[in-house]
Each structure stands twice: as structure tokens, then as C-alpha cells.
Amino acid sequence: MQTAAFSELFPLFDVANPETVEWLLSVSTEHEYPADRAVLMEDAWGNAVYFIESGWVKVRRHAGDSAVTLAVLGPGDFFGEMAILDESPRSTDVVALAPVKLLSVSAQRFIQTLFKDSQLHHRMLQLMVQRLRQTNFRFQLRNQPPAVKLANTLASLSESYGQQSDHGVAIFNIPPHDLADVADISEEETSKIMEKLIEKGWIKIDEARDAILLTNTKQLSQLAGKG
């Protein structure tokens, strides 16, 4: 991937020096995983940061014999940074939801880069604070109706990863159980609300593209409390 295209895809690097990005790309490793393949395992020691070039992954945590999906990440995002920054085992699994293409940079080289490029260091802190704010906002939604929670999840995914098309904003067609986990509602509630949103014409399922099309983002945002 070219330096300019990499910086455009990944918000983390939009303020980094071009020399920094060029060097990181030169020391990065490419990975490709099919859907349902584990990319990282919980309790493994962090040795790299991963950048999602294409495809989607879910971040999950095991709870007894089951696993709970905590987040869904798409192109332009990254993961694995917490384990290398605090030098501890990873607290979550990362599993491919769709065929995914990743770039990884070793922990040592990534940390060296943060020290060398103050703009990148600052941008990294900004994005981590943004993630913390998103987590806090989700906590504030815990007592909201299921429809509000799901609308907020769809709107947030659209804001972060949505691709504009002639028929709406497209995001990956996330499996119902994973979407339910992220929205903190039941899978049954998720299915019923999705059906209602389809009936209202606010969303469509594009099976050919394996995508959810948000066809009325204004109404969806209003339901989510973002409008």
C-alpha cells in the first residue's frame, strides 16, 4: 500500500510525518484470514499492533463456556495496542467476521515510532480517549429501550466505517448475535427491531454485498439520540 493511501485509510496516521508512515509500511507484515478464523487469542502476550486494511473483525471476551462480542471493527481501525502499551497479556480475542486483510507492526517498532513522532503519539492518545468516551456513552445507554441501543450501535458503525452508495450508507451485515452483544440487547430483540427498521424503510439488507444499507440515517440518528 502506498504511503498516501495508508494515511488516508487510517485516521491514526493522518497527522503523522510521511517518513514515519513510509518506515512503518517497510517494516509491516501482511496477513490474510478467512471468516471465523481467530486473529488474536485472549491471554496471549501482545507482540504487535494490527491495522485493518479490508474486512471486519469482532473483539470478544470469554465468560465461562460462552463468549461475548464487545466491539466490531472495520477498515481503517486498529487493535492490539493496549497489550503492548501496558506490557500485559491480551484481555480479549479478535476473530474475523469476514475475510480480512491486516498489516501488523511489532510492538518494539511501534513504540519506537510513537516516541519519535510526537504528532502520532498525540493522535494515538486522542483515539484512545475517543474509544473510552464511546464506552462511557454505551454505559449511559444501559437503561434505554432496546430500539435506542440498536439504533445507536448502527449509527456509530455507520459514522466510523460506513461507505456511501447510491442506496444508502453501507456497513457489514453483522451476525445478529454479535450485533445483539454490542448493542447490549437480546438476539430476539435485535431480530424484531431489525425487521421493524426494514419495514419503515430505514435500513435494507443487501445480501449480494453482505451489507446493511442505512437508507434513512437521519431518522436512525434521531432514534439513537444523535439527531
173 and 79 belong to one structural domain: no
Report residue 79 as a C-alpha cell: 487493535
37 and 66 belong to one structural domain: yes
86 and 154 belong to one structural domain: no
93 and 174 belong to one structural domain: no
115 and 174 belong to one structural domain: no
87 and 170 belong to one structural domain: no
Q: Which residues pair with 95 in a beta bridge?
A: 38, 58
Q: Look at residue 151 in the predicted model and tell me its pLDDT.
A: 95
104 and 173 belong to one structural domain: no
11 and 89 belong to one structural domain: yes
CATH number, domain containing residue 106: 2.60.120.10
129 and 31 belong to one structural domain: yes
Cα–Cα distance, 78 to 84 (Å, whole number): 13
CB proximity list for 4: less than 8 A, separation 6 or greater = 18
Q: Look at residue 138 in the predicted model and tell me its pLDDT.
A: 80
Residue ending a domain, among 139, 159, 187, is 139
161 and 75 belong to one structural domain: no
59 and 153 belong to one structural domain: no
112 and 14 belong to one structural domain: yes
Residue ending a domain, among 139, 170, 200, is 139
In the chain, alpha helices (H): 3-9, 18-27, 81-85, 107-116, 118-140, 146-161, 176-183, 187-200, 217-224
- Number of domains within the chain: 2
Cα–Cα distance, 201 to 57 (Å, whole number): 27
Residue ending a domain, among 139, 157, 179, is 139
pLDDT in tens, the chain (227 residues): 778 888 889 988 988 888 999 999 999 999 999 999 988 775 566 688 899 999 999 999 887 778 899 999 999 999 888 767 766 656 678 999 999 999 999 988 988 888 889 999 899 889 888 888 888 888 888 889 999 999 999 999 999 999 998 889 999 999 999 999 999 999 999 999 999 999 999 999 999 999 999 999 999 989 987 65
CATH number, domain containing residue 151: 1.10.10.10
Q: Look at residue 214 in the predicted model and tell me its pLDDT.
A: 96
Q: Which domain range does residue 215 map to?
A: 145-224
Q: Look at residue 46 in the predicted model and tell me its pLDDT.
A: 66
Q: Look at residue 225 in the predicted model and tell me its pLDDT.
A: 79
Q: Look at residue 205 in the predicted model and tell me its pLDDT.
A: 95
CB proximity list for 57: less than 8 A, separation 6 or greater = 39, 72, 73, 79, 94, 95, 96, 97, 100
Q: Look at residue 115 in the predicted model and tell me its pLDDT.
A: 87
Q: Look at residue 15 in the predicted model and tell me its pLDDT.
A: 86
